[in-house]
Structure 1
């Protein structure tokens, strides 16, 4: 039997996709028969009902069942693979769990990666879409506002896309920021969302208001491959689409003259090839802050998707001067996942019954277990470090702060007097549905769905709007002019507040 305590609780998974000629090879689009689509949908429904511990957190069982029944009716006569993928995404997104990932595999993945995409990146501000870094021959100015694409108005595009983006609770900032992520092409980003939920054309008629002049213009441009756009972005704008993976994290800059330091933690996935050892880095960092008598610390967590709970706990031990632990409780939907043996992947299917001989987990009801006592590392109180920081904290955050990174922000909200600058974090304040994942693959479409059976309830929970992330002390709203001019409003405000406090 699988041992429950041995399962690593990584709250998000690092996946790097390399697009090559074999992936982009053209094949006939996937088409599912009525029987195939119904079989896949029935497995999806059963898996969500069996595994997900918060399936009815935001909607009643009656409402969820009605939604399932409605989608089931849409696949009765067969369906294309891409249309089925779009439906599965919307079903999963309706659960309001950011850790519920929908990832095409096999033929569907090839279709998604071989599609023609817009030859530019986009920025979403409020309910408007803007052009950034145009790689076409049309030379659309940076910051131009898109009025429509192929006759579909920008607002309609956004309202069509948003229901298919999985995000925690009622948090919208993560949905908006995920549109702008050009990293995980098979399951995130505007290219995918537009292709699945709006239009699958290879040619795009763009109507837009030109940045700077306000002139209304129209241009028809051919789509290009993801790989071609990446090459053009690097050549024309020196933008490396994989820079997030290549930039060392964490990093530190100290300004002794102005009495502040900047600690940037852009990733929580450790890459031994480029990243410093986290524990050693923090040890030297906070020794330096204390010895140099630095009173102000800016922690930049923007775009940190989460990952390592060890990093989260380690950093907390330098920022809070009392004993602390990550979670008050850990819940689990089931100990026995053998009913899913036929569709489970990424796990030894001969070990689907978790070992609970020592009664670590106590059964609450037929669908929920709770830790019975506290020897899990994440449930143990950890003492603060000797060089714990006692100055003023300024936390920079946005909707891409997710999973363990969003939890860290919530921990700081509960325990410190930190100033929070930016926008609502992408993970719920009360704690994530994260941890270990039960990964299934639908037998005919080959769509992979990662479902977490866990609930982690954050330590020292305080009253907070359910289903919302940490809200900023100082909300930041960008204009397209700020974006075009590469202004960093969060950083500017943090430095201004530090100067003002002197």
Structure 2
């Protein structure tokens, strides 16, 4: 179960007022108490990167941060920064889980920067330009935004980026904007940390091969303008059978396979046949290499297990995975605050089994159960060679 954090009744009922009305401290602290109860009872990764004492301190700090009446935006930031402090890649204030009122109040401001970008060596580099007149060619570095250094913007937003443990590389990558989601993390939090009315933004930029920086003012994008390319892409995929991966050959004959996601549950596209066909062709061509581009890919189906058979000469046994949970049945008092597409998480029943001995890293008084419902084979799954063997080099 992904531990997304959704704002409870106190915030949802005030969403339509945006920042005009403040939410009472008592309501916010009541929400924080429910959150703490849910996390301490249910969250299997709560103590993976923090000790019990450290997490206790973080809960206390959240409660103190909510000890006064504050705006919806300030409260959302408090919960967002707390969620990020858990250091779990599946724990966040997920925008897709918020009420319509909260979405309208916080997530649709006309403040989107008019370009896609990646953080390369922590420098903001334009990858696609949407400005009027296309004044920011691909490869342009943006060094200042409304008088704030881009490096300072990145440092501030890292406080809400989600990733496991010390994986700051993922946090930085997550703060790029590339059109993969309607609610890009940068788009949501930049205007909260660095408020502006929108309409335009002042940039200092350095174009590719330029010797000097250049100052430019560009029009910001609305929410609708930001998601227009996404809607266009989705319209092209109507029917659900268009390829979600990209395959092309590079000048040296190597193949490039871009897989932005492996979450293919609802796709009607026959990705296995598509992938097997390309991999067989790759081997037939005797290509020198295969580049697997997984940037931004957060998993899903076991797509990798369909590629490995083309790269091996003998069966490979994967290490078995043990899944741990903190509870067998969700306490009744928490059920009204929990929601997900799979209701089976509420009661694992006999699938959640007592462990013969305590989990070695568990804090004193914290117990785990082993979840057997989705277990691999006792000795691990076995992947066997299949298809035509590719003998070139593989780069991930």
Q: Give the TM-score taking structure 1 as reference length.
A: 0.61
Change (3 A) 1:203 1:75: farther
Change (3 A) 1:332 1:242: same
1:227 aligns with 2:224: yes
Partner of residue 73 from structure 1, selected from 64, 78, 83: 64
1:331 aligns with 2:320: no
Q: Secondary structure of the equivalent of 1:345?
A: coil
Paired position in structure 1 for 2:119: 124
Paired position in structure 1 for 2:370: 370
Specify every segment of 5 or more residues in structure 2 that has no aligned partner in the other structure, as ranges: 5-14, 359-365
1:394 aligns with 2:391: no
1:193 aligns with 2:189: yes
Cα distance, 1:240 vs. partner? 5.8
Paired position in structure 2 for 1:29: 18
Q: In 1, distance between residues paired with 2:266 and 2:35?
A: 37
Cα distance, 1:214 vs. partner? 4.4
Q: In 2, distance between residues paired with 1:213 and 1:307?
A: 39
Q: Does the 8 Å contact 1:161/1:198 carry over to 2?
A: no
Equivalent residue runs for 1:63-102 within 5 Å: 63-102=54-93
Partner of residue 171 from structure 1, selected from 167, 175, 178: 167
Q: Secondary structure of the equivalent of 1:146?
A: strand
Paired position in structure 2 for 1:141: 136
Q: In 2, distance between residues paired with 1:226 and 1:395?
A: 36
Q: Does the 8 Å contact 2:201/2:220 carry over to 1?
A: no
Q: In 2, distance between residues paired with 1:262 and 1:134?
A: 24
Q: In 1, distance between residues paired with 2:259 and 2:127?
A: 25
Q: Does the 8 Å contact 1:29/1:81 carry over to 2?
A: yes
Q: Give the TM-score taking structure 2 as reference length.
A: 0.76
Q: Does the 8 Å contact 1:160/1:198 carry over to 2?
A: no
Q: In 2, distance between residues paired with 1:351 and 1:63?
A: 27
Specify every segment of 5 or more residues in structure 1 that has no aligned partner in the other structure, as ranges: 1-8, 14-25, 397-502
Paired position in structure 1 for 2:7: none
Higher RCO (Cα < 8 Å, 6 or more apart): 1
Question: What do you get for the CA RMSD once the two structures are aligned?
Answer: 3.9
1:183 aligns with 2:174: no
Q: Does the 8 Å contact 1:261/1:294 carry over to 2?
A: no
Change (3 A) 1:241 1:196: farther
Q: Does the 8 Å contact 1:205/1:221 carry over to 2?
A: yes
Paired position in structure 1 for 2:155: 159
Paired position in structure 2 for 1:463: none
* Pairs aligned (count): 365
Equivalent residue runs for 1:228-243 within 5 Å: 228-231=225-228
Paired position in structure 2 for 1:114: 108
Q: In 2, distance between residues paired with 1:12 and 1:317?
A: 34
